[in-house]
Structures are given as structure tokens and as C-alpha cells.
């Protein structure tokens, strides 16, 4: 029942936000079948695009014009970011989870090897990653408050601040005061994937846990900004639902939040479903590479100033091309298991399979050879 995913748990903060309503209103008007090649060309010739233009770039009519779309995206990318490609790596510190999400390797019902790093182990992982030259790290946990409470995550962030200039967190959604605590501990940005914006699909894919509550999750980025966090990242997991609608919804989410909080740094990720330890077959709405590139280009043209991440879910060759056209941020030296940076045998199983296992140095040299400029950090902190 859709009503069930609307009901907040007692520990969940309710904020007065109109963002979800605006997203749903925009989605209700969308009709991707109406666009012609002329509509696509018209959108490409505009300096600033509206949602109608964005939909045209996502339409089937745009597929035959992908080269022109990519050229415009590349122009916008170079206008705002030059040849810079920003590097980071994720660090998984726990894979315990209380949610039952049928597409995820961390699903609480999956029979996988669970683990949680202690602070000595976290610091050893941080030191090992630091050797690669990276200056930005993304700290991740499974969504379990019991096993990975806010204080545990905060101390992990504080440790990371000793070694890295830019700290991101990708954890379970929090209340405003909790985001403020993590901000004070050193967190710079927060990533929360809505997974899918379609409520019926959301209800079917999220069977148990706090993640099942749709509005609490969709307001996560706004609570993070209210808590003092500098940047917020968005994303839908492509393959769970109609990718055009989820891409439009993500664009709406970013656009309306940027309008409301002009100071916020906005970024987007475009992950596709990947096989997991528990299931290597789930992909009901497969998004092909050409469609993925089309999505990335549409984002770049519509909101040219946002950061865009291309993850190791994708092949090395695709990632090499993507950062030259639309993406600005790339993960490197990635492990999605627990303790894999310092131990021959990981403590806990991976969240999903990766497709690009290159080291930081390998990716760095490849991008240099392609004429790009790898960047480890572009933030300067003044005490």
C-alpha cells in the first residue's frame, strides 16, 4: 500500500518542504513520446534549457542525434570545468543493514558475510588509501543505526579528516541535528540515492526498514543542507523503473533544491543496476550504454555547473569516454567490500560487482594520455 511508505517512524524528523510536490507535478506533465527531432535540435540551440527541453534530450527522437548532443555536452563541460577530472574513492566501513531492498547486496535478508571495522582498522584503511595520492574519500555504511550509529560514523569522519581534504558520507538518512553533528566532525557532502521516484515501484522494491519511508528519504538532501552540510549528491538506480522518468525526477530534485538553496553544491551520480552477491539477474529495465551516455549529456546541458560522477559499475573504456564528454568526477582504486584495502581476505562481502578495477595510478595515467587533467583536490581551507 502506497499509504504505508508515507508514514514516518517516530524518530524521523518532518520538515516543511515543497520539493516532493514540485517533482511529482513536473513528472505528471511529462510525455516523452511527443518529441520530434526538431524539438531536440531546438533544445540544443537554446542557451538555457527548461524541463521540456530536457525531456526532448531524453526522448527516443534524440538517439539519432547523440553525436550533436555529445558535442554540446562536451562544450558545456569544458566551459565550466575545463579538462579537470576529480578523483575520489569510497571506503566501506560496515555492511550491516536493516533494510530489505530486493536489488541490493546488503539486503538484511541476504546470507552474506557481515562486518564492521573498528577505529584502528578504519585508520589503517585510510592510511593505505592515502598512499595512492587521493585527497577525497567517501565513507559508506550499510543502513543500520544499531550497528553503525551516528557517533561511530562521526568518529570515522573525524579520523578521515586527518588524512583527506574532502570527506563525503553515503549512509542512512538522518535528521537535521545529526547532519549538523557530522558537519562539525568534518563531513563536507552527503550522497543519498532515491533509487526510484515512482512510488509504486519504490514500495515494491523496499519491503522493510526505514528506507521504506519514501518522503523521509526524498527530503534527506534538504535536511543535510539545513544541518550545515556544504554539498549534496543525488541519483536514481537506473533499471528499477522507467529510466526517462527517474532521470527527469532526479533533475527536478536537483533543480528545485538549487533554487531553494542557491549556495548548495550539487552533484549527480548515474548508477546502473549491477549483479550482487545474492542475485546476478535483477535488471528489469536495462539501460544500455548509449542510453546512459544520453542521460549524462542531458544532465550536463540542462545543469552545466553540477559535478557528475561516473562509477566503477561501468567499463573502463566507457568511463574514459564519459569524463571527456560529460562526467567530471571518477572513482578509482575502488573496493566495495569491508577491509579490502589492508587485508588479503576481506572482512565483509561487497555491495555489488564492479566493472573497472584499475588502480588510482592506472586511471591517472590513462586520463593524462587522453589530454585530461586529473585533480586530487581543489579545496583550500582557511583556518
Q: Is 272 a member of any domain?
A: yes
The total domain count for the chain is: 1
Q: Average of pLDDT values for 126-154? A: 96
Q: Are 57 and 40 in contact (CB under 8 A)?
A: yes
* Residue 382 banded pLDDT, cuts 50, 70, 90: very low
pLDDT at 1: 63
| % of the chain at pLDDT higher than 70 | 92
Q: Is 11 a member of any domain?
A: yes
Q: Is 380 a member of any domain?
A: no
* Domain assignment of residue 259, given as a range: 2-375
Q: Is 296 a member of any domain?
A: yes
Q: 350: part of which helix (H) or strand (E)?
A: none
3-state secondary structure of 189: strand
Rounded CA-CA distance 161/159 in Å is 5
pLDDT at 347: 54
Q: Is 51 a member of any domain?
A: yes
Q: Is 381 a member of any domain?
A: no
pLDDT at 378: 64
Q: Is 57 a member of any domain?
A: yes
Rounded CA-CA distance 298/58 in Å is 7
> Could you tell me the CATH number of the domain that includes residue 205?
3.20.20.70
* C-beta contacts of 310-316 below 8 A and 24+ residues apart: 310/270, 311/269, 311/271, 312/354, 312/355, 312/356, 312/357, 313/271, 313/272, 313/274, 313/352, 313/354, 313/355, 314/272, 314/289, 314/355, 314/356, 315/289, 315/355, 315/356, 316/355, 316/356, 316/358, 316/366
DSSP assignment letter at 7: P
Q: Does 277 score more than 50 pLDDT?
A: no
Q: Does 307 score more than 50 pLDDT?
A: yes
Q: Does 383 score more than 60 pLDDT?
A: no
User: Does the global pTM surpass 0.85?
Assistant: yes
Q: What does pLDDT average to over the chain?
A: 92
Q: Does 187 score more than 70 pLDDT?
A: yes
Q: Is 383 a member of any domain?
A: no
* Minimum mean pLDDT range among 231-245, 282-296, 362-376: 282-296
Amino acid at each position: 500500500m502506497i499509504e504505508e511508505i508515507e508514514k514516518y517512524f517516530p524518530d524521523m524528523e518532518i520538515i516543511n518542504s515543497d520539493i516532493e510536490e514540485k517533482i511529482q507535478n513536473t513528472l505528471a506533465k511529462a510525455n516523452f513520446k511527443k518529441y520530434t527531432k526538431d524539438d531536440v535540435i531546438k533544445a540544443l540551440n537554446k542557451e538555457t534549457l527548461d524541463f521540456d527541453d530536457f525531456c526532448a534530450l531524453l526522448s527516443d527522437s534524440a538517439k539519432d542525434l547523440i553525436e550533436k548532443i555529445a558535442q554540446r555536452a562536451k562544450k558545456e563541460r569544458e566551459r565550466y570545468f575545463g579538462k579537470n577530472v576529480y578523483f575520489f574513492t569510497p571506503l566501506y566501513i560496515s555492511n550491516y543493514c536493516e533494510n530489505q531492498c530486493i536489488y541490493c547486496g546488503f539486503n538484511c535478508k541476504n546470507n552474506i558475510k557481515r562486518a564492521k571495522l573498528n577505529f584502528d582498522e578504519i585508520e589503517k584503511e585510510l592510511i593505505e588509501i592515502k598512499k595512492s595520492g587521493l585527497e577525497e574519500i567517501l565513507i559508506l555504511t550499510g543502513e543500520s543505526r544499531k550497528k553503525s550509529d551516528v557517533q561511530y560514523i562521526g568518529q570515522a569522519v573525524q579520523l578521515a579528516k586527518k588524512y583527506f581534504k574532502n570527506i563525503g558520507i553515503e549512509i542512512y538518512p538522518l535528521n537535521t541535528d545529526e547532519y549538523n553533528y557530522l558537519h562539525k566532525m568534518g563531513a563536507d557532502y552527503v550522497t543519498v540515492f532515491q533509487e526510484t521516484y515512482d512510488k509504486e515501484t519504490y514500495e515494491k522494491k523496499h519491503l522493510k526498514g526505514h528506507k521504506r519511508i519514501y518522503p523521509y528519504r526524498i527530503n534527506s538532501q534538504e535536511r543535510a543542507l539545513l544541518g550545515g552540510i556544504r554539498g549534496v549528491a543525488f541519483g536514481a538506480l537506473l533499471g528499477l523503473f522507467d529510466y526517462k522518468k527517474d532521470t527527469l525526477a532526479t533533475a527536478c530534485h536537483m533543480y528545485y533544491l538549487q533554487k531553494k538553496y542557491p549556495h548548495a553544491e550539487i552533484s549527480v551520480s548515474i548508477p546502473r543496476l549491477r549483479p550482487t552477491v545474492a542475485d546476478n539477474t535483477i535488471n528489469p529495465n536495462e539501460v544500455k550504454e548509449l542510453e546512459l551516455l544520453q542521460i549524462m549529456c542531458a544532465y550536463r546541458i540542462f545543469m552545466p555547473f553540477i559535478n557528475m560522477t561516473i562509477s566503477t559499475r561501468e567499463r573502463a573504456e566507457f568511463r574514459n569516454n564519459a569524463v571527456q564528454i560529460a562526467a567530471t568526477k571518477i572513482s578509482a582504486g575502488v573496493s566495495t567490500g569491508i577491509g579490502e584495502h589492508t587485508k588479503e581476505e576481506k572482512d565483509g562481502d561487497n555491495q555489488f560487482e564492479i566493472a573497472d578495477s584499475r588502480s588510482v595510478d592506472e586511471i591517472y595515467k590513462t586520463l593524462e594520455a587522453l589530454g585530461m587533467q586529473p585533480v586530487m583536490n581543489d579545496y583550500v581551507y582557511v583556518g
